[in-house]
Structure formats: C-alpha cells, structure tokens
Amino acid sequence: MLAYIIRRVLYAVPILIGVNLITFALFFVVNKPDDMARMQLGQKHVQQEDIDKWKQARGYDKPLFYNKEATEGHVFTDTVFFTKSVSLFMLDFGNADDGRNITRDISQRMWPSLAIAVPVFIVSLLLNITFALIIAFFRASYVDYMGVVICVILMSVSSLFYIIGGQFLISKLLHLVPISGYSADIDTATKFLILPIIIGIIGGIGAGTRWYRTIFLEEINKDYVRTARAKGLSERLVLFKHVLKNALVPILTGVVAVIPLLFMGSLILESFFGIPGLGSYTIDAIRSQDFAIVRAMVFLGSLLYIIGLILTDISYTIVDPRIRLGGRQ
Amino acid sequence: MSTLKPNLFLFGIILILVVLVSTVEETWQIKFVPLWTDILIYVLMVAVLLFGIQARHKEHLRAPWRHVVQRPLAMSALVVLAFYVVVGLMDSIHFRQMLEKQPGQTETQYSGEVVSLFDVLVTPIRVQHEKSYSAPFAAFLYSKETIETAEGQVRDYPRLLYGGRHLKNPAEDRIPNLVMGIFLSFVFTVLIFLVVSAALILLVARRHKASFADTMTAISTGNTRIPFRAMLMTFGVICFFVVVGIMLADKYHLLGTDKVGNDVLYLSLKSIRTGLVIGTLTTLIMLPFAILLGIMAGHYRGWIDDVIQYIYTTLNSIPGVLLIAAAILSLQVYMAINPQMFDTVTERADLRLLFLCLILGITSWTGLCRLLRAETFKISQLDYIDAATAFGTGHFKTMIRHILPNVMHIVLIAVVLDFSGLVLAEAVLSYVGVGVDPTTISWGNMINSARMEMAREPVVWWSLTAAFLFMFTLVLAANLFSDAVRDAFDPRITRSK
C-alpha cells in the first residue's frame, strides 16, 4: 500500500512540472516582463528606469531561460524560470503588487473560504443523495418525471441569479440577514454566512440530484439487484441496502476528488457576499491584473486537484477490493 | 473524372457566392465585413446541414432521431431554439453602410460603424437612446430632473425622448394605447397562427395522403407521431411576443432602458448571438483535438496513450476559471501592446470572443477525450477491428472508417450537453472580468453592469429580469433538447417502450 501511494505521488511530479510550464508560458513568454510592467505602470510615458525598478522588485530582471552572463554552473539556475519555479514548489509565492506576502494572505483567507465551502459541501451531498434516492425509488413514474424536470429547471438558472435573487429577497425585502460582510467572531459570523451557504446549496441541487439519480439508475439495472428482487426482498430494502451500498463506490470516489478543492473557495459567492476568502482574493487579483497572485492560485489549485486525484485512487482501492494496487500490468 | 467533379462543384458554389455578394453590395450600397466568428458560425451551419442530409439515408442514424422527434417537450424546446438560432444567424451578417456622398465627392465612403442584418431590422430600438433609466412601457424617465418650463424650473419626471412620444397626454392615453396595441398584436398572432397551422395541416395531410379534416383532428387532439400540437403552441407563444415587438417596440421601450439609456430589449436580443457563438464555436474548436487524441490514445495504447493522458491530466488539473483568467489576462496585455492589429473596435471584440471560445475549448475537451479513449479501448478489442487489421487496413484508416463512426454518439451527446453549460459559463466569466470584451453585448455584461441595480432605491429590476428571462429560456430549451438527444443516443439508457 505504501509503495503504491509513493508511486502515485511520484507520478504527480511531472504533472505539476507541466502545470508550471504552462503558467510560465502564459505569464512570461507570451508577454515579456517588460510588457507586464508597462501595463501595470500605465501605457505611455513610462521610463525604462521605472520598468527596470518594477522588474527588480519582483525578481523579473533576469533572463527567462538561459543566463549568458552568469558564472559557470549558474547559466540555468540564475533565471526567472528557475527561481520562480523553485519558489512555487516550495510554496513560497512571493509578494503581491501591493507588497503583501501572498503565502501569508492565503493561509489567512483559507478559513473564511472553508467556513462556506465545508457546510455547503456536506449538506448538499446529503440532500442531493436523499432526493436522488427518492426519485430513483419512484422511477419511471410521475414523481420521477417531475423530479427530473424540476432538476433541469433548477440547472438552467445561472448561479449569478441565485445570488442576486437571494440577496434581494432575504436581505433587502425581508431584512433577515445583512446583504454582505464577514466577521471572524463565531456568533456574528453565522448571520453573515447562513445566506451564502443556503444559496450555495440551492445552486447545486439540480445538477447534483440528477447526477446521483443516474448513478442509482445505472446500479438498479444490474444483475445483483434482479437477484435480490428474485429472492423476494422488498423494493425499499433493495434500494436502501443493496443499491445504496454499491452506489457508494462511484459516489465516494467522485466526492473525494473534490474535497481538497474546497480550500479554493467559491469565486462568485465570496465576491458577492464580501467574504474575505480565497475566491474573492482570486477575483480581486484578476480584476486588478495582479499576475503574481493569479499564478500562485493556479499552482495551488492544480496542486489540490492532484492531491484529490491521489486520494481518489487510494479511496478506490479501499472501498473496492477488486481493484488491484499495481495498476496496469 | 471523379476528383474533378467535386472541384467543379466547389468552384461553382464559390462563383455563385461571389456574384451574389457583389450584387447585394451594389443594390443595398453596403460593404460586407465578415468577422471570424461569422465565418465559423456559417461553416458550422453548413456542416450540420450536410450531416443532416447524409444521416437521412442511414437507418442507424435515423432511428435515434425518430425517438427525439416524438418527445413533445424536446420538440417545443427545438422551436424555441430555432427562434434563437434565426436571430443569431441574422446577427452574424456584418457590413458597413455607404455614407451619403457629399457634393463634389467622387470616392464612395463607408461608415466606420459595423452593423449586422439584425441591427438594420431592429433599427428603431437600436438608435432610440434615452437619457437614463426608464421602466418598461414608460413614457417618463425613472428619476426626477430639473425641467425648464414657461413658469420656471420644476423638479419632475421628464418625458422620454422616444418612449410614448406619440401620446399627447401620457398619463391618460398610455394604458388604453397599450391595451389596444397588445389586443391588435393578439389578433395578428391568431391570424398568423391560423395560416401556419393550415399550411402545416395541408403538408402533413398530403404527405400521409389523408384528408384535411382527419389530419386536423389528429393534430388538435395530439395524436400525431411528431408532436405537432405542442410545437404549434410554442410557435404561437413566440409569435405573439415577436408581433408585440414589431407593433410596439418603436413606440415604447418594452423592457425599459438601462443606466445610459440603451433599450434593454435590444441588448437582450443582441446577447443571443454571443451566447450561441460561445455555446457552439467552443465545441467546434475543441472537437478535432478531443476526437483525434481520444481515439489515438485508445487505439495505439502504450506510450502514445501515456503522453496523451499526461497532456489532459495536466490541463485538467488547472482550475478552469483560473486558466481562462490567466489566458485572457495575457491576451489583454498583448492587445494593449499591439493596438495597431485591429481596424475597428468590433473586430477586436470579435477576436477576443473567438479567443475566449478557444481557451474555453482547451479547458473543456478533456472530459470528451477521456470518454472517447475508454470507448475506443473497448471497441478495438472487438473482432471486426482484428479483421480490418488482418486485411491490411492501416491504423489511420481503421480509426477513421471503423472506430470513429462507432463513437460518434458519444461526441453528439457531449456537444449537446456542453452547450447550456457554456452559455451559463459566459455570464460567470464576464462577471469575473475575464469573459467577452466589455464592448460586446452579452448577458454576462448586462448582469455585470446591472448587479448594483437591485440595491438601488427604488429598485431597477428590468435589466436583470430581461437578461434572466432570455438566458433561462435558451438554457432551459437547450437542456430539455439535449436530454432527449442523450436518451435517444446513449445505448446504456434502456428505453421503456
């Protein structure tokens, strides 16, 4: 088992290197650091000195890939690519344009993001599975048909409208909770967090329920279910005991992959509700064109995604003993 | 001879097109400005048409479609989609109009403004700008202003420049005038509906060699194989809205005006093209990669499979929004540094739209690629592939002739399922600031510029409502239709017959 995990982790390294290459190409090769500096400092009337100063402050003043002037042995290491890549892999993201340390910002802003993402994740998982089970129980009936149509209707509404509508109805008309804001104090934080959490759940119900419904229906058509029915088990027992248990394999593996990404927060929820999490951090960075932060978030997101992949593989082997640890032979 | 024929055919079509274009340009005094997305949209249209003509003669392709056309919900959705597509296609013919010749001027000059055929058709709502917010059907502005009158300055709601301009006394005349207009529209709709229904009944009756009365009863009781009744009802509803638009849109702002006085109905209608372009061209761009790489990975296996898997795992591991954001930010810098590359604002916005499709495609092809790889894996173990190999068929030919046709259903399902998600994604991306160009009219930009309006006192609700309704209708119709297509084409779903 340990050997398997180590192999999976090693397999992730080339992927991270690939991600690093892509982001580097996007941020430094397509646009030279000079262009970025000019963009940041304003288009016209920029002196070359200002540009140099801007580049030096961010460590962009070296050659991109190959340093001719460096001493022996440092021709590749004394470059923007090498220094920036190494610091990314050490999770040292450097400073943002306003001089704040990105790594510290991320470790602080992680918690508000989790305060929304975790409750949304758990509650919607339970709700969606429950709804899907009910629909699957009444499959090929009027309930099933209506359930699917309602899911499709819920799916067709843009998430922006759930947020705008929710804020308007609950906060503006009914004055139940404040429109936006955040507080680190637990008692007052609930009042700020409850609406984004509810909207996050409602926004995902349509797609989620439909997804789990297909999983259940696929499972229901399998042979062992027919056997269970043939031996005289009630439909309820078949569904809740046999089908649910077996459907947990695809459900669990799908769920595990998402867990690490919860750290990234929700982009638009946080931005609309003014919650100082990583999602709004990213949006602010995109809007102010802060390349350092966007690059850091891209790398962080990929890292978490790959961790999710590894966790998925491991959880597969745990819940389904038929899957061999060795992978492909 | 056989290679010559298609060449001649192609040459003939191009010749006809050239003649047609120059005649049209001469007659209407315009100069066509084909945008990249326009060309691609029409290429896509032609491809779909050719595919449809081919599929008519193949029973295994017709059978699943027969299931689709029997579902009332799906066919009603198709009518709605057709309406959107017609608007989108009309909005995809761009040209510049000739300016009036000044005396003594010999050279013809064209206006700097690029307009579309649709723009010309809806000229009243395009050019009738108000000063600021006005409510739907209003004759007055939404906020008070200081007005100069004979008795001095008064603070009141000023009359609109265009909305309700024909009314002498708006306070009393407006409601009766509106009721009259809507009633007339209803009458016209009924007339059009009757004519169209009669034409349809005639067609169906002739096709099935049945009498007119029998066909009419069958359709009106819903007893036809294709759900004509549901389709006609949907058509009637759409028709009513269109007629109301034609009758009243030049006299009132049916959906109000936004902050800078643009007609919201015009903005909503123009957004249709943006939505359709993103929903369809993204898939068009990503399809070749997904199909080629997916089938290659599944067919060759070994190191080719490893490399392709590595590529899509890497691309997939970057969170989509962030990759798009990174790419768009880079593009923005590039465009800011090289402004000389673009003649008009429209062309620059169009290139950004195309680039957005491209980058959206890069983030979304991996799912399809993985599905195709798995399916090819399964298929290439079947005997007929071995037989093909034994006959000496090359790898490439095997993949194109023997594997591709058998995975096409997966491609089709992916294409129709992706569409609605992409339309929704445009709104979110535009909100984040990495969507279409700010000058491009889109639902995302409408929402983005109107998001503070709900917090205003009094509430300005119409921009958001209009964007919501237009977007929701398109996405819902697309979802309902794609559901039916998936049910019909996915062999895993057992149909209850």
What are B18-63's pLDDT values in tens digits? Answer: 888 888 888 888 888 888 889 999 888 888 888 888 878 887 778 8
pLDDT at residue B234 above 90?
A: yes
| Among B330, B418, B476, the residue to mutate for chain A (most A Cβ within 10 A) | B330
Q: Is the pLDDT of residue B494 over 70?
A: no
Among B190, B365, B178, B194, CA closest to B290: B365
pLDDT tens for B315-349 read 888 888 888 888 888 888 778 777 777 777 788 88
Least confident of A126-140, B95-109, B255-269, B295-309: B95-109
Nearest by CB to B314, which of A15, A38, A286? A15
pLDDT of residue A199: 92
Question: What pLDDT was estimated at residue A70?
Answer: 63
Query: Min CA distance, B77 vs chain A (Å)?
Result: 13
Most confident of A265-269, B144-148, B462-466: B462-466
DSSP B495: P
CB contact residues (below 8 A), chain B span 333-352, against chain A: 333-334, 336-337
Write down the pLDDT at residue A43: 59
- Chain A nearest-CA residue for B494: A221
* pLDDT attached to residue A67: 66
pLDDT higher than 60, residue B216? yes
Please report which confidence band the pLDDT of residue A65 belongs to, taking 50, 70 and 90 as the band edges: low
- Confirm or reject contact between B39 and chain A (CB < 8 A): no
How large is the ipTM? 0.85
pLDDT at A128: 93
Cβ-defined contact of A30 to B313 (cutoff 8 Å)? no
Are A158 and B434 in contact (CB < 8 Å)? no
Q: How confident is the model at residue B3 (pLDDT cuts 50, 70, 90)?
A: low
Q: In this predicted structure, what is the pLDDT of residue B78?
A: 93
What residues in B contact A286, CB-CB < 8 Å? 325, 329, 432-434
Report CB contact under 8 Å: A35, B333. yes
**Cα nearest neighbour of A37 on chain B:** B333
Ranges A313-327, B277-291, B349-363, B464-478, most confident:
B464-478
Interface A-B, measured as beta-carbon pairs within 8 A, has a size of 139
Cβ atoms of B153 and B146 closer than 8 Å: yes
Instruction: Pick the residue from chain A with its C-alpha nearest to B457.
Output: A172
**Band (B495; pLDDT cuts 50, 70, 90):** very low
Residue A327 has pLDDT above 70, yes or no: no
Interface membership of B48 toward A (CB under 8 Å): no
Question: Is A36 in Cβ contact with B434 (below 8 Å)?
Answer: no
Residue A249's alpha-carbon distances to A219, A246, A252, A254, in angstroms, are 11, 6, 5, 9
Q: Are A164 and B451 in contact (CB < 8 Å)?
A: yes
What is the enclosing helix (H) or strand (E) of B105?
Answer: none
Within 8 A of B471 by CB-CB distance, chain A residues are 158
Q: What pLDDT shows up at residue B312?
A: 87
Q: Do B318 and A301 touch (CB under 8 A)?
A: yes
Give the per-residue SS3 of chain A: CHHHHHHHHHHHHHHHHHHHHHHHHHHHHCCCHHHHHHHHHCCCCCCHHHHHHHHHHHCCCCCCCCCCCCCCCCCCCCCHHHHHHHHHHCCCCCECCCCCEHHHHHHHHHHHHHHHHHHHHHHHHHHHHHHHHHHHHCCCCHHHHHHHHHHHHHHCCCHHHHHHHHHHHHHHHCCCCCCCCCCCCHHHHHHHHHHHHHHHHHHHHHHHHHHHHHHHHHHHCCHHHHHHHHCCCCHHHHHHHHHHHHHHHHHHHHHHHHHHHHHHCCHHHHHHHCCCCHHHHHHHHHHCCCHHHHHHHHHHHHHHHHHHHHHHHHHHHHHCCCCCCCCCC
A186: which 2 tokens? Answer: 């637990």
Nearest to B336 among A43, A282, A298 (CB): A43
pLDDT at B1: 45
Between B367 and A50, residue with greater pLDDT? B367
State the pLDDT at residue B293. 92
- Per-residue pLDDT, B85: 94
Tell whether the model's pLDDT for residue A194 goes beyond 70.
yes
Is A36 close to B333, i.e. CB distance below 8 A? yes
Q: Is the pLDDT of residue A40 over 80?
A: no
Average pLDDT on B124-136 reads: 85
Tell me the residue length of chain A. 329
Give me chain A's average pLDDT, please. Answer: 82
B321 interface with A at CB cutoff 8 Å: yes
Quote the CA–CA distance of B411 and A165 in Å, as a whole number: 36
Q: In the prediction, which pLDDT does A329 show? A: 37
A195 pLDDT higher than 60 = yes
pLDDT at B4 over 90: no
| Partner residue facing B329 (CB), from A152, A261, A286 | A286
φ, ψ of residue A270 to 5 degrees: the values are: -65, -35
Give SS3 for B272: helix
Q: What are phi and psi of B30, to 5 degrees?
A: -135, 170
**C-alpha distance from B391 to closest chain A C-alpha (Å):** 30
Q: Which residues of A touch B475 (CB under 8 A)?
A: 155-158
Partner residue facing B319 (CB), from A15, A149, A301: A301
According to the model, what pLDDT value does residue B470 have?
A: 94
Eight-state DSSP code of residue B102: P
A-proximal residues of B, 440-469, CB under 8 Å:
447, 451, 454-455, 459, 464, 468
Q: What is the pLDDT of residue B95?
A: 86
Average pLDDT over residues B254-283: 90
Q: Which residues on chain A are in Cβ contact (under 8 Å) with B464?
A: 161, 164
Answer yes or no: is pLDDT of A60 > 50: yes
pLDDT class for A76, splitting at 50, 70, 90?
low
Which residue among A27, A287, A298 places its CB closest to the CB of B318? A298
Asked if A294 lies within 8 A of B326 by C-beta distance, the reply is yes
Nearest to B324 by CA among B428, B423, B424: B428
**Set of chain B residues whose Cβ sits within 8 Å of the Cβ of A43:** 336
Nearest neighbour of B322 by CB, restricted to A156, A287, A298: A298
Q: Is the pLDDT of residue B497 over 50?
A: no
Query: Is residue B173 within 8 angstroms of chain A, CB to CB?
Result: no
Q: Which helix (H) or strand (E) holds B113?
A: strand B110-116
Lowest mean pLDDT among A14-28, A309-323, B460-474: A309-323
Q: What pLDDT score was predicted for residue B275?
A: 93
